[in-house]
């Protein structure tokens, strides 16, 4: 049996992490947990980018550059998202996703 890692292992791991993130996104009712699921999905994307960078483009490592941009955008997204949560919480006194239905009708 061959004990060398290849691209497929990392891609399958990233797919599993991404699907766990999607499940958390659609099933959780706490807004903060939804944000945490989004962070998980962004990290799955980072694993994908780094795996491609290492196995397909090892000289220019463009995947690592994209990962750094993704990390930057994720930090900005987390800050703005948490500020929005605080604003909603002050106005509606709840963090339940099922009660954020002002825009639905």
Partner 1 sequence: MPSLGTGVQFVSFFILSALIIGASLGVVLAPNMLYAAFLLGFTFICLSGIYLLLNADFVAAAQILIYVGAVNVLILFAIMLVNRQAPETPVPLKKIRDGIGGIVCFGLFSLIATTVVRTPWPYSTEAPVTNTTLKIGEQFFTNYLLPFEVSSVLLLMALVGAIMLARREFVPDQTVTGDEPLVLPERSREDLEPALKKLPVSTASEE
- Taking the complex as a whole, the smallest distance from the CB of residue 13 to partner 1 amounts, in Å, to 5
- Taking the complex as a whole, the smallest distance from the CB of residue 48 to partner 1 amounts, in Å, to 10
Q: Which two tokens stand for residue 64?
A: 């690592």
The angle, 0 to 180 degrees and rounded to 10, between the axes of the packed helices 31-55 and 7-27 is 170
- Taking the complex as a whole, the smallest distance from the CB of residue 32 to partner 1 amounts, in Å, to 5
- Quote the CA–CA distance of 15 and 66 in Å, as a whole number: 18
Three-class secondary structure assignment of 3-28: CCCCHHHHHHHHHHHHHHHHHHHHHC
Q: What DSSP character marks residue 30?
A: B
- Taking the complex as a whole, the smallest distance from the CB of residue 6 to partner 1 amounts, in Å, to 8
């Amino acid at each position: 049996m061959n004990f060398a890692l290849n691209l497929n292992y990392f891609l399958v791991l990233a797919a599993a992490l991404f699907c766990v993130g999607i499940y958390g996104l659609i099933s959780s009712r706490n807004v903060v947990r939804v944000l945490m699921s989004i962070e998980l999905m962004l990290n799955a994307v980072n694993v994908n980018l780094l795996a491609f960078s290492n196995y397909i483009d090892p000289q220019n490592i463009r995947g690592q550059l994209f990962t750094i941009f993704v990390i930057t955008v994720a930090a900005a997204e987390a800050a703005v998202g948490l500020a929005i949560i605080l604003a909603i919480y002050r106005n509606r006194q709840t963090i339940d996703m099922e009660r954020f239905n002002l825009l639905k009708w």
